[in-house]
Amino acid sequence: MADEPLPGPDADAATPDAAVTDAALPSAVTPDAARPDAAAAVVAAKGALRTRLLAARARRDAAERAYAARTLGAALGALPELAEARTVAAYVPVGSEPGPADLAAVLAGSGRRVLLPVLMADNDLDWAAYDGPESLVAAARGLREPVGRRLGPDAVADADLVVVPGLAVDRHGMRLGRGGGSYDRALARLAPGAFTAVLLYDGEFLDAVPAEPHDRPVRAALLPGRTVRFGPAARPASD
């Protein structure tokens, strides 16, 4: 698999992964705030889906992870939004997360400013500028974080392009995260024109994911074999 050519964005990419879509997945539901039982059901459905997706990631072998890292790095480099961006907010993939380990370096070309998150005690995200691989240190929960001056949670509002982690996304761009709410808060602070993208493995583009009122959609999902764009304002995908 690792010897296959790098794929470009697919103009017909908006079909969810069949192997997952055919499974019995929780439907995307926005609960009625007056119905605590419905809200609790969505939270439970999210938890069950996270467990499945994390187990599937744990089964991916080194060759598959390396292929995903290589192709996702190439797909990010080809995004028109990256070429236009002055400031990019991203993260450092760790563990089984898809994406190149040097994601920040991939994004920092042509003099771009790259902001990386610093996890706070309340699970909110502070931000600091990336200043090369030597500026990253080991942090809590197995993370790698920048050592530079903390810029505050609102610094992400300066980003033109925001690359976020996730476990899955659906055909409406609704993203399923790990449940801490860190990126829901960060996404709520973005400027209206910011372009958001999530990095995923094949098999993680679903027909629907459970959703709550605070969940925010992304504008694109990058998978090893295709780039999927969401929303009426999205650019057409190109080869």
Higher pLDDT, 18 or 15: 15
Dist CA 93 CA 24 (whole Å): 29
**How confident is residue 197, by pLDDT bands cut at 50, 70 and 90?**
very high
Dist CA 20 CA 202 (whole Å): 10
Q: How many CB atoms lie within 10 A of CB 6?
A: 14
Per-residue model confidence (pLDDT) at position 39: 81
Indicate the pairing of strand 220-223 with strand 226-229: antiparallel
Quickly name the fold that domain 22-229 has.
Rossmann fold (3.40.50)
Per-residue model confidence (pLDDT) at position 3: 32
Dist CA 101 CA 91 (whole Å): 10
Higher pLDDT, 203 or 135: 203
Q: Average pLDDT in the 87-94 region?
A: 94
Whether residue 203 has pLDDT greater than 60:
yes
Q: What's CA 231's distance to the chain center, in Å?
A: 16
**How confident is residue 14, by pLDDT bands cut at 50, 70 and 90?**
low
Q: What is the pTM of this model?
A: 0.81
Tokens of 63: 């060759």
Q: What are the extents of the domains in the chain? A: 22-229
Per-residue model confidence (pLDDT) at position 28: 44
Whether residue 187 has pLDDT greater than 90:
yes
Q: What is the mean pLDDT of the chain?
A: 83
Q: Average pLDDT in the 110-124 region?
A: 91
Q: Average pLDDT in the 122-143 region?
A: 86
Dist CA 128 CA 145 (whole Å): 9
First to last CA, the chain: 21
Q: Average pLDDT in the 77-92 region?
A: 95
Q: Average pLDDT in the 162-174 region?
A: 96
**How confident is residue 10, by pLDDT bands cut at 50, 70 and 90?**
very low
Q: Which of 136, 79, 126 is nearest to 104 (CA)?
A: 136
Whether residue 1 has pLDDT greater than 60:
no
Tokens of 81: 């939004």
**How confident is residue 170, by pLDDT bands cut at 50, 70 and 90?**
very high
Higher pLDDT, 239 or 198: 198
Q: Average pLDDT in the 27-56 region?
A: 77
SS (H, E, C) the chain: CCCCCCCCCCCCCCCCCHHHHCCCCCCCCCCCCCCHHHHHHHHHHHHHHHHHHHHHHHCCCHHHHHHHHHHHHHHHHCCHHHHHCCEEECCCCCCCCCCCCCHHHHHCHHHCEEEEEEECCCCCEEEEECCCHHHEEECHHHCEEECCCCCCHHHHHHCCEEEECCCEEECCCEEECCCCCHHHHHHHCCCCCCEEEEECCCCCEECCCCCCCCCCECCEEEECCEEEECCCCCCCCCC
Tokens of 186: 């960060």
Whether residue 180 has pLDDT greater than 60:
yes
Q: Average pLDDT in the 118-144 region?
A: 87
